[in-house]
Amino acid sequence: MRVETNTVVPALKNIATRLRIESVRATTEAGSGHPTTCCSAAELVAALFFGEMRFDPNNPKHPHADRFVLSKGHAAPILYAAWSEAGTIPRAELLRLREFTSDLEGHPMPRVPYVDIATGSLGQGLCAGVGIALNARRIASDYRTYVLMGDGETAEGSVWESAAMAAHYRLDSLVGIVDVNGLGQSAATQLQHDMEAHKRRWTGFGWHTLVIDGHNMEQVLDALAEARRTKGVPTVILARTVKGKGISFTEGQLNWHGKALKKGDEFARALKELESQMVPEAPDSKIEIPRPTMQPRDEKPREMSAPDYKLGDLIATREAYGTALARLGSADSRVVALDADVKNSTFTEKFEAVHPDRCYQSFIAEQGMVGAAMGLASRGAVPFAATFAAFFARAADFVRMAAISDLNIKLVGSHSGVSIGEDGASQMALEDLAMATAQPNFVVLYPSDAVCMEWSVAAAAQHQGPVYIRASRPKTPVIYQSNEPFPIGGCKVLRQSDNDKATVIGAGITVFEALKAYDELKQQDINIRVIDLYSLQPIDASTLIAAGRATSRLITVEDHYAAGGVGDAVARAVAPAGLAVTRLAVHEIPRSGRPEELIDHYGISARHIVATVNRL
């Protein structure tokens, strides 16, 4: 603790009371929100912001400032109240909580500079915290990371994925704080106030675990100090609290979750009770927030060198991903890689071989992996997280929240589609494009050859925002010169004539089926246009519309289910021109078999393209 306890404690207690008052006032004014979950956390937040953390209220994004993640995002009003207490937000603004024209939203959003990542989907904060703490290590910063959770959200498995990861990386700059108020939304939480049961879980996962009374300011400050002294292991503070604390008629009451106090008597009574809890302060007590001491450093990337492939080389795009990432990592120190125990399949191992200190392992835990990537991205790293595309479904809610935060993460899904073959349906991603393109701010790329993959990786790194790249398992021939440009939002017209009868649009492995179909149709004296749609989102609508108008038929072919993939993306793009799209896609749950057997059986082979062109 930075100053004499008996001077600072009364001041912090009064801050806690003011945080309660502002949280209640704002939610009452808004007519909705979660005042009681703010009340249970008031001492914890007051101690963190005004008794522990180093930050600059005028520059919340300072690269060496301590970080606070409000994982229990529904307690947003107390977050805003704390930043207001620090002088960052005008007090009057607090009363505009949840208004359409205010940035003080119902749950924290990084539209405001003091929020790194959006929260509100419970159980994600600690995952991000791991990434934020890993970033401190990457930039050799002394900033510390504090994650405030509710006890209810520790039922989420993602909490334990990140708990394991934090212990594995011995992240002693990371502190978890659980506001154990014992009440969920609809019932008491599973472990309620059984603090020993809570402790057993965290100790079981290798954390230094402290159990305290979360309304005792001295205990809170002592626990934070002990966490700071603890080396080689992350610390969790399990704070026993009372939901609705400070207001007699809400304390420990289940039916007060997510309810604002009514204007009038109800609010007045609460305010009176809270105000009566103010304590006398020492005349010379003054809370000063210590500032970060380290200086920001520049991280300027150099340009990545061009790939070096020969036309016709057989290389899986997943392997080209690893090659590209390793080179990118050498050009840009911000680039980090994350793996969930498939680095020998995604070729992330190529990056690890040259940049082992910037390659992070979540083991088989995709939420932990993507969550850590989100935290890293929120602090200026450029994380590439790769796994089988199918297993990004495990982290779909993190993908959703990454989009909401507009984070600079890059996800690479390998082993997409039926073309993986014998391993069967559980390993085949056939809905990953639907997941990624659903998010309006995700860039979605799907390279067909190694050159395009290399440039996709470079483009992903240059683009500020979330990117998904789809990779394939089978080897495919190089069809582009190494210096071919692949701008985001573009496509490549691979075959074209003045009398094309149809346009066939492929992506990834189906580009080669389309080229085969071209050759076969050519022998029947039928010309088709062939497009490699390597960028699904944004999409080159004008080229597609021009092709549709010139050839009268647009046919998409994709190693993906019919919904939400290439066909739908093209259809959305050409709809304004009144054009319709014929789709070849996978229409049923596939089974094990050889890749070429499956590609043909599920209707996306050259043979089916030829038949479709002939039929139309």
As annotated, the active-site residues are: 366
Assess 157 for contact with a second copy (CB under 8 A): yes
Residues 165-184, interacting with a second copy (CB under 8 A): 168, 184
Assess 558 for contact with a second copy (CB under 8 A): no
Assess 438 for contact with a second copy (CB under 8 A): yes
Q: How far apart are CA 514 and CA 263, in angstroms?
A: 66
Size of the site for a second copy (CB under 8 A): 116
Residues 61-80, interacting with a second copy (CB under 8 A): 73
Decide whether 62 or 549 has the Cβ nearer to a second copy. 549
Q: How far apart are CA 442 and CA 132, in angstroms?
A: 22
Q: Alpha-carbon dihedral of residues 77, 237, 129, 97, nearest 10 degrees?
A: 0
Span interacting with a second copy, options 2-10, 25-33, 409-417, 484-492, rule CB under 8 A: 25-33
Assess 193 for contact with a second copy (CB under 8 A): no
Residues 104-133, interacting with a second copy (CB under 8 A): 105-107, 109, 111, 118-123
Site string for a second copy, 203-222 (x = CB under 8 A): xxxx----------------
Helix (H) or strand (E) holding 598: helix 595-601
Tokens of 40: 């249970």
Assess 542 for contact with a second copy (CB under 8 A): no
Please state the closest distance from residue 167 (CB atom) to a second copy, in A. Answer: 9
Q: Of residues 397, 482, 516, 603, which one binds a second copy by CB under 8 A?
A: 397
Is residue 354 within 8 Å of 330, Cβ to Cβ? yes
Assess 81 for contact with a second copy (CB under 8 A): no
Is residue 609 within 8 Å of 517, Cβ to Cβ? yes
Q: Of residues 41, 385, 401, 557, which one binds a second copy by CB under 8 A?
A: 401
Q: What single-letter DSSP state applies at residue 416? A: B
16 closest CA partner among 167, 303, 214, 154? 214
Tokens of 380: 């200026």
Q: Of residues 140, 264, 578, 615, which one binds a second copy by CB under 8 A?
A: 578
Assess 233 for contact with a second copy (CB under 8 A): no
Please state the closest distance from residue 121 (CB atom) to a second copy, in A. Answer: 5
Site string for a second copy, 319-358 (x = CB under 8 A): --------------------x-xxxxx---x---------
Tokens of 243: 């939901």
Residues 410-429, interacting with a second copy (CB under 8 A): 422-427
Residues 87-106, interacting with a second copy (CB under 8 A): 98-100, 102, 105-106
Decide whether 133 or 399 has the Cβ nearer to a second copy. 399
Question: Rounded to whole angstroms, what are the CA distances from 397 to 64, 69, 120, 144?
Answer: 29, 18, 11, 26
Is residue 2 within 8 Å of 66, Cβ to Cβ? no
Residues 274-313, interacting with a second copy (CB under 8 A): none
Q: How far apart are CA 613 and CA 616, in angstroms?
A: 5
The H-assigned helical ranges of 379-509 are 396-405, 432-438, 450-462
Assess 196 for contact with a second copy (CB under 8 A): no
Please state the closest distance from residue 92 (CB atom) to a second copy, in A. Answer: 18
* Other Cβ atoms within 10 Å of 519 Cβ, number: 11
Assess 252 for contact with a second copy (CB under 8 A): no
Assess 546 for contact with a second copy (CB under 8 A): no
Rg (CA), the chain: 27
Tokens of 518: 């071209």
Residues 499-528, interacting with a second copy (CB under 8 A): none
128 closest CA partner among 115, 111, 147? 147
309 closest CA partner among 522, 105, 464, 481? 481
